Structure 1
Amino acid sequence: MKNPDQTRREFIKNNALAVAGAAFAASLPTTLYASPKSASPAILGGDPSWSVAKWPKWPRWNPETDEKKLLEVMRSGVWSRAEVVTEFEEAWADALGAKRSLAVVNGTNALVTAISQFNIQAGDEVLVPPYTFIATVSAVLTNGAMPVFVDIDPLTYQMDPAKIEAKITPRTKAIIPVHILGLPADMDKIMAIAKKHNLIVIEDACQAHLAEIDHRKVGTIGHAGCFSFQNSKNLPIGEGGAVVSNDDAFIDRCFSYTNFGNPYGSAVGAVGAGAMMQGTKLRFSEYQAAVGLAQLKRLDSETTTRNENATYLKSQIKDIPGIVPYKLYDNVTRAAFHLFPFRYKQEDFKGLSRADFLKALSAEGVPCSSGYTTLNTQPFLNETFKSKGFKNSFAKDALDIKNYNEKNKCPENNLLCSEAVWFTQNMILGTKSDMDDIATAIEKIHKNAEKIKNLSKK
């Protein structure tokens, strides 16, 4: 038997070491002791890479900093367009480096307004890309003009300048490049073509707040730019839009058009000014402007965060076989990243369909979308062409939908619509660790693509 004193000393020594070890362990970062995430995809029973609930919420609202102006407006009783709307317009123009800005009810009507005040109307043609939200095309149709689709650059998803001139006819009056997803179009080449053919350029920058080409904000490069402030946008107001331009006479006309045709500068509610044109009512409200001013304060810093995280995420996923991220033109100095896009090549994922890839990615806690479906073949075009206004303005063969579809084929867009995957802009407001988790999720799916494909067959 051991000496009792020796046994007691060993007990005290061992117990002290155990206590010290426990204290040391408690002082270490918890991640060193956390169970590693399963290498198996969540859709196969593994641990999700992330949680949907942990992504940054959108829109953001901070009562302490955001509500003062809004409450002042609400308590004033002056809710129709007045001084706060003017303040927002001046702030938005200043943020873009534009001379003038006119706030309207939404981005769609910003486009409608701009098109109308360049005298683009029934019988005219307007060149548009097929990879865009329906509003771009519906704004053209609302003015009685014919949308002519120019296929995309497969790397950037933007209207391909090399395909523009083949679509120009004597009826062509304008080009509407769309900085879709917040990625700038090739404006240098587009403006050169427009100048050569004496065409108006209206930038659809509804998704491209503060994006830049050679340090010039998109929306200020063409003859006019249009923006949206809808709830999902990088500058969210719920609903809202703006037309920007350096042309005073043009903005004055836009103001009149959105205010019943009354002259620029006439007060809201005035009935004796006398309308100078046929107009409509698209006025912005004071409380919308108050929300916009609050959101504008953080737009620049949020845009920087989106660019940093998008660049990092791209670097983390670009070497995964079957993942082809977006490309920016060389002269893009800043993107907006309203969406983070990449192309999914199912042949590099053992034939796993895009739909099943999206399900597997969603199971990892990574929200995702397949994006747009083809726009240039949708039924609304044929329905519009059947209207009396279009029949009176265009030749019968131009309105024949089979003939129209044949002339407006966009094979690159068709392929993109079958391969695209999107992440929303709030996701890339997270941390680099969040971006790592997205990449990890995609890698897990790639490594287990065969098993996931077999699961979907059951």
Structure 2
Amino acid sequence: MSNPLALHGGPKEVTRDFSWPVYDNSEIQAVTEVVASGKWGNPDCGDLVEKFEKEFAAYCGSKYAITCVNGSVSLRLALIACGVKPGDEVIVPPYTFITTASSVIECNCVPVFVDIHPETYNMDPSKIEAAITPRTRAIIPVHFGGLACDMEAILAIAKKHNLRVIEDAAHAHGAEYKGKKLGSIGDVGSFSFQSSKNLTSGEGGIVITDDDELYAMMHSLRNVGRIEGGQWYDHYNPGCNYRITQMQAALLSKQLERLEEQTKRRNENGLYLNELLKDIEGISPLERTEAITMHCYHIYIFKYDASRFGGLSKNQFAEMLAAEGVPSFRGYPHPLYKQPLFQNKNFMCYAIPETADYNSVFLPVAEQACNTDAVWILQHAMLGEKEDMEAFARAIKKIQLAHHI
């Protein structure tokens, strides 16, 4: 007879506490020094901010990096700098956080949803060209969970149609595609430093680029429209104060020192967990091709087949798995286009045409991922030991055994 499930009063399979963020006295000391200096702001006292920007650009292999208040604003800065105009269309995936699409709306542009690939949950390149119209100006591929999109295919489509590519790399700090850091491959890469992210200061964001003109515009937009070398009270572009603080920059520099080792650990644990789970009927890790030279596993995602678990729904399974001590989640309950924002067209924008109808959108792969298939294990759990990955696998087998499969 199997052990009773933790949800039903049995012992947890996983007892380790996976704390996040990871820090020690070096972060505390760095922030203490900023507080004691009395130089908290930016740009008047922006030496630590500039230092971190240079460090992050070098880490990603990019020419420029511009920090800002969060990863939502970073997408907006990228879109404006890339030249979108009111009424233009921007292609986005439906399986992502709201701001990938809401940043498009904030620019008075129209999000156009393209379905995800069933084996990666990233935007499916084979479906992009059918969504392109004369009004399309940009594509925002999201490296969801830290798994690289098929950038070679996406860039080829963008070149053919003269479109900008803005990589949403909010999940992808340190991950690589064919040896190149994600975010450094398209025209602009956008990152978040929100509290759950693999590199964090609680909040914050950054954009990276090799393009001199894009850099100059994003730098200006971030700093109330000022330009480098201009006068303090001269404002050239419609920007706002999107600057981060010295304390955030001090934290980020220290956290960046940890990122490469943490990314390698997540990647190794992800590969090991793939091996453990692939032999469990009804559990399928997402696909990793040879192009994925580093996966940072901001989210470890596997596909769940209820028929191999006695018909147990995904939501029930996810609840049981979390009760066993696995830091896990059922994922998004519905695709992005089903958010009230899109269903009610509550855009407050003058340039989105009445013909934009999200009530009729139905993308089957995204629907299936949300409704029945996708289960997430969160990034801080992927910093554990091999023994922890084995415990995750045992927890899944325990649930399966309890349901007589």
Q: Which amino acid aligns with 1:355?
A: N
What does the per-residue CA deviation read over 1:372-411, in whole Å, with 9 as the maximum and x for residues that have no partner? 1211122202444663x33xx3443x23x3xx433x3211
Q: In the aligned structure 1, how far is the partner of 2:34 from the partner of 2:212? A: 28
Higher helix share goes to which structure? 1
What does the per-residue CA deviation read over 1:344-391, in whole Å, with 9 as the maximum and x for residues that have no partner? 11111110111221222122122321111211122202444663x33x
Q: Specify the alignment match of 2:238 in structure 1.
A: 278
Instruction: Work out whether 1:262 is the aligned partner of 2:226.
Output: yes
What does the per-residue CA deviation read over 1:268-324, in whole Å, with 9 as the maximum and x for residues that have no partner? xx743x111121110111110000011000100000000111111111111111111
**Residues 84-233 of structure 1 mapped to structure 2, 5 A cutoff:** 84-233=48-197
**Residues 282-361 of structure 1 mapped to structure 2, 5 A cutoff:** 282-361=242-321
Q: Which amino acid aligns with 2:104?
A: V
Q: In the aligned structure 1, how far is the partner of 2:8 from the partner of 2:345? A: 47
Q: Specify the alignment match of 1:66 in structure 2.
A: 27
Q: In the aligned structure 2, how far is the partner of 1:405 from the partner of 1:360? A: 33
Q: Which amino acid aligns with 2:140?
A: I
Q: Specify the alignment match of 2:382 in structure 1.
A: 428
Matched residue count: 400
CA drift at 1:327: 1.0
Q: In the aligned structure 2, how far is the partner of 1:338 from the partner of 1:420? A: 15
Q: In the aligned structure 1, how far is the partner of 2:60 from the partner of 2:380? A: 22
What does the per-residue CA deviation read over 1:153-195, in whole Å, with 9 as the maximum and x for residues that have no partner? 0000000000000000000000000001111100000000000
CA drift at 1:41: 2.7
Question: More deviation in 65-74 or 158-167?
Answer: 65-74
Do the aligned residues in 2 keep the contact of 1:55 with 1:426 (CA within 8 Å)?
Answer: no
Q: In structure 1, list runs of 5 or more residues that go unmatched.
A: 1-36, 452-458
Do the aligned residues in 1 keep the contact of 2:299 with 2:377 (CA within 8 Å)?
Answer: yes
TM-score, scaled to structure 2: 0.95
Do the aligned residues in 1 keep the contact of 2:5 with 2:320 (CA within 8 Å)?
Answer: yes
Q: 1:225 to 1:386 in 2, by over 3 A?
A: closer
SS in 2 for 1:423: strand
CA drift at 1:431: 0.7
Q: Specify the alignment match of 1:375 in structure 2.
A: 336
Q: Specify the alignment match of 2:366 in structure 1.
A: 413
Q: In the aligned structure 1, how far is the partner of 2:337 from the partner of 2:381? A: 30
Q: In the aligned structure 1, how far is the partner of 2:6 from the partner of 2:243? A: 49
Do the aligned residues in 1 keep the contact of 2:108 with 2:352 (CA within 8 Å)?
Answer: no
Q: Which amino acid aligns with 2:141?
A: P
Q: In the aligned structure 1, how far is the partner of 2:207 from the partner of 2:327? A: 32
Question: More deviation in 153-162 or 118-127?
Answer: 118-127
**Residues 35-54 of structure 1 mapped to structure 2, 5 A cutoff:** 39-51=3-15, 54=16
Q: In the aligned structure 1, how far is the partner of 2:302 from the partner of 2:369? A: 10
What does the per-residue CA deviation read over 1:212-232, in whole Å, with 9 as the maximum and x for residues that have no partner? 111001101000000000111
Do the aligned residues in 1 keep the contact of 2:53 with 2:65 (CA within 8 Å)?
Answer: yes
Q: In the aligned structure 2, how far is the partner of 1:126 from the partner of 1:437? A: 42
SS in 2 for 1:127: strand
Q: In structure 2, list runs of 5 or more residues that go unmatched.
A: none
Q: In the aligned structure 2, how far is the partner of 1:265 from the partner of 1:86? A: 16
Do the aligned residues in 2 keep the contact of 1:156 with 1:329 (CA within 8 Å)?
Answer: no
Q: Specify the alignment match of 1:57 in structure 2.
A: 19
CA drift at 1:264: 2.2
Q: Specify the alignment match of 1:437 in structure 2.
A: 391
Q: In the aligned structure 1, how far is the partner of 2:391 from the partner of 2:131? A: 44
SS in 2 for 1:334: coil
RMSD of aligned Cα (Å): 1.7
SS in 1 for 2:172: coil
The share of aligned pairs that are identical, in percent, is 42
What does the per-residue CA deviation read over 1:398-453, in whole Å, with 9 as the maximum and x for residues that have no partner? 23x3xx433x32111000112211111110111111111111111111111159xx
Ranges of 4+ aligned residues in structure 1 off by more than 6 Å: none
Do the aligned residues in 2 keep the contact of 1:186 with 1:329 (CA within 8 Å)?
Answer: no
Q: 1:102 to 1:265 in 2, by over 3 A?
A: farther
Do the aligned residues in 1 keep the contact of 2:49 with 2:244 (CA within 8 Å)?
Answer: yes
Do the aligned residues in 1 keep the contact of 2:120 with 2:286 (CA within 8 Å)?
Answer: yes
Do the aligned residues in 1 keep the contact of 2:343 with 2:359 (CA within 8 Å)?
Answer: no
Do the aligned residues in 2 keep the contact of 1:55 with 1:430 (CA within 8 Å)?
Answer: no
Q: In the aligned structure 2, how far is the partner of 1:265 from the partner of 1:298? A: 35
